[in-house]
Amino acid sequence: MTHPFRRTATRLADGRDLIYFDDTEPWLSGTSDREAVDERPLGERSPAGTMRRDALTGDWVGIAGHRLDRTFLPPKDECPLCPTGRGSAPSEIPAHDYDVVVFENRFPSFAPVATPASELPSGRDPLFAEAPALGRCEVVCFTSDHGASFSSLSPHRARTVVEAWVDRTRELSRDPDVEHVFCFENRGQEIGVTLHHPHGQIYAYPFVPPRTAQLLDRARAHHASTGRLLGADILDAERKDGSRIVLEGEHWSAYVPFAARWPVEVHLAPHRDVPDLVALEDAEKDELAEVYLELLRRLDRYYVKKNGSPVTLPYIAGWQQAPVREGRDVSRLHLQVMSVLRSPGKLKYLAGSESGVGGWVNDVPPERVAERLREVAT
């Protein structure tokens, strides 16, 4: 069944896009329109930074000095993601309430407005390649409730967030400057979150990021030798083995990967072969909202303090989708959730081996993680 929501697009004072995704009244039926106007004196929007290519690896690195001044852990009454009127100053969202909203980041690493060519150096050694960081960075606010979290959302609201991810993946993929769309959420100060309000982000890169390129290379090699999709074969093998399966539905399964790198890591994959979020059918999106909430709630019960209370897990959750143009025939959608917390109050640091040469060492057997996540099922 199609999920009911209403999409309303508007613009902020500096010309950045803002889109409401409403699933409740009076906005759903249009009884009340989204007429609030952003009246802040913002001036011109920030242009894109630049990208520099690392000659040793071939990777592009974004250089975005303007992000040094971005908002950092403001008090609740100065939160830029709360609706305007709830704090001491106007926020990024001019409405006095909202369900789900997406807007262009005010401090973007990648933006559709290019840095002027006159500001880019010329005549430089070809080993020092540089280009404008064209693309998009968007913020996805899951709810207007500052004290909530994704795991506390209702299935109905989580389903609306899924629709926002689908909408933005579809639209951003049409941008000729964009090569890859990455929807993700950072939660917890241990991860580096700078705003406490429950939100995620979407990066639309002008290149295929290194890890995505690595996944694509492995998928191509597997397909060339077997004629099958690597992601599908991994999911089938995990379901057959069963020791690392966390939960299963009609359309989705969650499992701890066989060679998990992080102390807590779970992958969530659809049973059907799809390249990206846009390709999901309504029934798959419906179940995704339910299964993902259950997974996040289990993760928040994974660790307990000495007094028996659960530990709110810091995590990164990111959708691995097919690039916009490359390798879509061999790519397969999945979500990766990972945490740096190796025990209550103790973090895994990416020290010499991981940061220096990418040689990962995980102290926690993946089977033990999966067993624990099955134990804490509701």
Q: What is the mean pLDDT of residues 59-88?
A: 87
DSSP 311-351: PPPPEEEEEE---SSSSTTT---EEEEEE-EEETTEE----
Local confidence band at 102 (pLDDT 50, 70, 90 cut-offs): very high
Residues of each annotated binding site for Zn(2+): 79, 82, 146, 197
The reply to whether 199 belongs to the active site is: yes
**Rounded percentage of the chain residues whose pLDDT exceeds 70:** 98
86, 88, 90, 91: CA torsion to nearest 10: -60
Whether 118 has a pLDDT exceeding 60, the answer reads no
What is the fold, at CATH topology level, of the domain defined by 211-375? HIT family, subunit A (3.30.428)
Long-range contacts of 26-31 (CB under 8 A, 24+ apart): 27/99, 28/4, 30/6
Q: What is the pLDDT of residue 238?
A: 98
What lies within 8 Å, CB to CB, of 230 at 6+ separation is 218, 219, 222, 223, 330, 332
Average pLDDT over residues 272-292: 98
Distance (Å, rounded) from C-alpha 232 to C-alpha 136?
30
Q: Regarding beta strands 50-53 and 100-104, do their DSSP bridges make them parallel or antiparallel, or are they unpaired?
A: unpaired
- The whole-number average pLDDT for the span 277-303 is 98
pLDDT digits (tens, 9 = 90+) for 320-345: 999 999 999 999 999 999 999 999 98
Q: What is the CATH number of domain 6-207?
A: 3.30.428.10
Indicate the length of the chain as a whole number: 378
Same fold flag, 6-207 and 211-375: yes
Nearest 5 degrees, angle CA 339-CA 340-CA 343? 100
Position 120 confidence tier, pLDDT thresholds 50, 70, 90: low
Detail the residues annotated as belonging to a binding site: 79, 82, 146, 197
List 66, 96, 180, 199, catalytic entry: 199
User: Which percentage of the chain shows pLDDT scores above 90?
Assistant: 84
pLDDT at 69 over 80: no
Angle in degrees, CA 101, 107, 112, rounded to 5: 80
Work out whether strand 334-339 and strand 315-320 pair parallel, antiparallel, or are unpaired: antiparallel
Domain ranges, ordered by start, for the chain? 6-207, 211-375
10 Å CB burial of residue 244 (0-12, 13-18, 19+) is: buried
Close Cβ partners of 160 (under 8 Å, ≥ 6 residues apart): 3, 5, 21, 23, 99, 100
Q: Are 187 and 314 in contact (CB under 8 A)?
A: yes
Query: Would you place residue 121 in the very low, low, confident or very high pLDDT band (cuts 50, 70, 90)?
Result: low
Across 105-114, 260-269, 341-350, the highest mean pLDDT is recorded for: 260-269
Average pLDDT over residues 110-125: 73
